[in-house]
Chain A
Amino acid sequence: MSTDTRPAAPAPVPPSRPVRVERRLPRLAPLGLYLAGLALGAGVSALTGSGLASTVVYGVVLGTLAVYLAARSVEGRRKATDRLVTCLVTTAFALAMVPLVSLVWTVLGNGLARFDATFFTNSMFRVVGEGGGAYHAILGTLVITALATAISVPIGLMTAVYLVEYATGRLKRAITFFVDVMTGIPSIVAGLFAFALFTLLFGNDVRLGVMGAVALSVLMIPVVVRSCEEVLKLVPNELREASLALGVPKWRTIVKVVLPTAIAGLGTGVTLAVARVVGETAPLLVTVGLITGTNLDPFDGRMATLPVFAYYQLTQPGTDTQAFLDRAWTAALVLIILVMALNVVARLISRLLAPKTGR
């Protein structure tokens, strides 16, 4: 069984060649074999009368086996192992993509029904059935997230600067440890912390937008510290020394050399931290609550936010259940778009602000 299609090719390899020439499968053969395996798996699955899951499992196993055996018989052991691992890695990748694609697909399918102008211009004020929108929730999410960012970024960035530029020894280790612990805090705990804090300060039954911002900050600060710290560590020490050797004080070196050099990474880190908290539900549920009208003042009473809005649309529908479900899906879609937009912004920041080489 020769894979070489050229008729004139000499069959025995001349022994004088320094590098061993190997027989190769044709370029598309592995893919074809894999697909054949998948088809066979589907057939077997249909015969045994099982569903989609077994089709996929049988197909993947048979496809991988077909590619491996073919490569083993034609190309030898090393190449066969290579093909086997390629199959496994590709399968793992496909598996990882399944939930993501399915999620986007479902949310798009259900959310597009109410993805209209009314949704973005109307609140839920005095709406119990159809119509209505998330105008108040979208703006509320933006206000509270902006406030949380305004609290977290200065604290987080300065902590990172302290850790990288000043801290030494035990204090540094302690701070790093507690930042790591804070990264793992469940979001409901952050919410309860803000709830308890503001109840102590302002008495019972207080619900403010700023409470939510504080709760989100508790979640956001460690993420900001971590990402900023990593980025600041990447700034070459030579630049700090160059600046210090010019007679520039340390704080000016940090403000004018270290931070500008790292600005792209800092912007990316902060944006990703924002994306991380923009969809938080639990802390906002207990601190900010929900209203049907538009309230943009985070220091005065309840506010609406997208995640909480989606939650209540789903769990407490009014007269027209389908209308409420549709709004919940659309709110989820808007949240996904928001997070995606933030990621795009992060990429743009890192591209636009990166130091130019000028070559």
Chain B
Amino acid sequence: MAKRIEVSDLNIYYGDFLAVEGVNVAIEPRSITALIGPSGCGKSTFLRSLNRMHEVIPGARVEGKVVMDGQDLYGADVDPVDVRRHVGMVFQRPNPFPTMSIYENVLAGNRLNSRRMKKSEADDVVERSLRGANLWNEVKDRLDRPGSGLSGGQQQRLCIARAIAVEPDVLLMDEPCSALDPISTLAIEDLMTELKDRFTIVIVTHNMQQAARVSESTGFFNLNGVGQPGRLIEFNPTEKIFSNPDQKATEDYISGRFG
């Protein structure tokens, strides 16, 4: 299921503005890859380009290749909608659908695509996904209640359950814990560690301890100045990045000496 992603010479634009320049990286399956860097350096932009969510913004476009298991996601014959079915995403702010119950939220990926499902099959998917997101025990008695009634951490796990319910190959997480308290953060970090057996996980985080705790590989993004494009400065195993990075800039950032 989990798939390998190879990115080569990726330039990402907002209109005429080059936001991220020349990214070359290989993201390994069944592992967690963390992306760190200062604000505005293009981490989230890069992440969104991996499931073609970037081009949802008017004027945004991408040059270069993102290859998943031998197929270029930006090929002329590739449907972006189909890419997103294989590469799921969890956002910074929990965003359950307010019109739907917890149950319907988990099934949203299937239901919104009008996939026919038997009731028992749907129940199975809901339970499996909620268990996978460590939320089942907390919500199993109130599956028909609105998802927006949950706490922030529960909502975020509901969004993760929603994302894994469609069985994607890759899971992208854009600062999934930045709006959460430490306990919910811990719950989600544990969850990521469990999920990495089944998915390729890429996470953007501002929290370097989090990157050090959960990830196998870490990429450091930086930019030279305002208006300059962001670049992938260094990509290495997490241990190496945090103990003996190749680049001076990485070391400065990690030890808090930047700007």
Q: Which residues of A contact B (CB under 8 A)?
A: 168, 236, 238-249, 252-253, 256-257, 260-261, 263, 355-359
- Chain B, 30-71, CB within 8 A of any chain A CB: 51, 53, 56, 58
Q: Are B149 and A359 in contact (CB under 8 A)?
A: yes
Please give, as numbers and ranges, the residues of chain A lying within 8 Å of B109 by CB-CB distance: 246-248
Q: Are A248 and B148 in contact (CB under 8 A)?
A: no
Interface residue range, chain B: 20 to 34
Between-chain CB contacts (< 8 Å), 19 pairs: A168-B58, A238-B93, A242-B96, A242-B162, A243-B108, A245-B163, A246-B88, A246-B108, A246-B113, A246-B166, A247-B81, A247-B83, A247-B84, A247-B113, A248-B113, A253-B112, A257-B97, A355-B99, A359-B149
Q: Are A358 and B112 in contact (CB under 8 A)?
A: no
Please give, as numbers and ranges, the residues of chain A lying within 8 Å of B149 by CB-CB distance: 356-359
- Chain B, 57-108, CB within 8 A of any chain A CB: 58, 81-86, 88-89, 91, 93, 95-99, 108
Of B81, B97, B98, most buried by chain A (CB within 10 Å of CB) is B98
Closest approach, in angstroms, between the C-beta of B79 and any C-beta of chain A? Answer: 9
Partner of A246, one of B98, B112, B114: B112
Which residue from chain B places its CB closest to the CB of A245 in the assembled complex? B89
Closest approach, in angstroms, between the C-beta of A238 and any C-beta of chain B? Answer: 4
Of A245, A247, A249, A359, most buried by chain B (CB within 10 Å of CB) is A245
Q: Are A358 and B145 in contact (CB under 8 A)?
A: yes
Task: State the 9 A-B residue pairs at the shortest beta-carbon distance, nearest first.
Answer: A247-B85, A358-B149, A355-B98, A358-B146, A245-B89, A246-B109, A238-B95, A247-B84, A248-B112
Provide the bound-state CA to CA distance between A236 and B162, in Å: 18
Provide the bound-state CA to CA distance between A70 and B85, in Å: 72
Please give, as numbers and ranges, the residues of chain A lying within 8 Å of B111 by CB-CB distance: 256
Given A245-B89, A246-B166: A256 and B112 interface contact (C-beta under 8 Å): yes
Q: Are B97 and A242 in contact (CB under 8 A)?
A: yes
B159 at the interface (CB under 8 A from A): yes
Which residue from chain B places its CB closest to the CB of A252 in the assembled complex? B112
Q: Are A247 and B97 in contact (CB under 8 A)?
A: no
Provide the bound-state CA to CA distance between A260 and B149, in Å: 18
Closest approach, in angstroms, between the C-beta of A65 and any C-beta of chain B? Answer: 52
Which residue from chain A places its CB closest to the CB of B89 in the assembled complex? A245
Provide the bound-state CA to CA distance between A241 and B58, in Å: 13
Partner of A357, one of B84, B108, B146: B146
Interface of B is mostly: mixed
Given A246-B109, A246-B112, A252-B113: A241 and B166 interface contact (C-beta under 8 Å): no
Q: Are B146 and A243 in contact (CB under 8 A)?
A: no
Given A261-B97, A358-B149: A244 and B82 interface contact (C-beta under 8 Å): no
Q: Are A260 and B81 in contact (CB under 8 A)?
A: no
Q: Are A261 and B81 in contact (CB under 8 A)?
A: no
Closest approach, in angstroms, between the C-beta of B20 and any C-beta of chain A? Answer: 19
Which residue from chain B places its CB closest to the CB of A259 in the assembled complex? B99
- Chain B, 138-181, CB within 8 A of any chain A CB: 145-146, 148-149, 159, 162-163, 166
Which residue from chain A places its CB closest to the CB of B142 in the assembled complex? A358
Q: Are A246 and B163 in contact (CB under 8 A)?
A: yes
Provide the bound-state CA to CA distance between A243 and B99, in Å: 13
Closest approach, in angstroms, between the C-beta of B179 and any C-beta of chain A? Answer: 12
Please give, as numbers and ranges, the residues of chain B lying within 8 Å of A252 by CB-CB distance: 112-114
Which residue from chain B places its CB closest to the CB of A235 in the assembled complex? B98
Residue interface bits B193-215, CB-to-A below 8 A is 1, else 0:
00000000000000000000000
7 extra interface residue pairs, beta carbon distance < 8 Å, beyond A257-B99, A257-B112, A263-B99:
A168-B58, A236-B95, A239-B98, A241-B53, A242-B159, A247-B83, A357-B146
Provide the bound-state CA to CA distance between A256 and B162, in Å: 16
Please give, as numbers and ranges, the residues of chain B lying within 8 Å of A260 by CB-CB distance: 99
Please give, as numbers and ranges, the residues of chain A lying within 8 Å of B98 by CB-CB distance: 239, 261, 355-357
Provide the bound-state CA to CA distance between A263 and B82, in Å: 28
Given A238-B91, A246-B162, A248-B112: A358 and B53 interface contact (C-beta under 8 Å): no
Please give, as numbers and ranges, the residues of chain B lying within 8 Å of A239 by CB-CB distance: 95, 97-98
Closest approach, in angstroms, between the C-beta of A109 and any C-beta of chain B? Answer: 46
Which residue from chain A places its CB closest to the CB of B146 in the assembled complex? A358
Provide the bound-state CA to CA distance between A338 and B109, in Å: 43
Of B88, B109, B112, B163, most buried by chain A (CB within 10 Å of CB) is B112
Please give, as numbers and ranges, the residues of chain A lying within 8 Å of B146 by CB-CB distance: 355-358
Which residue from chain B places its CB closest to the CB of A353 in the assembled complex? B99
Q: Are B113 and A244 in contact (CB under 8 A)?
A: no
Closest approach, in angstroms, between the C-beta of A77 and any C-beta of chain B? Answer: 46
Of A236, A246, A249, A356, most buried by chain B (CB within 10 Å of CB) is A246
Residue interface bits B107-138, CB-to-A below 8 A is 1, else 0:
01101111000000000000000000000000
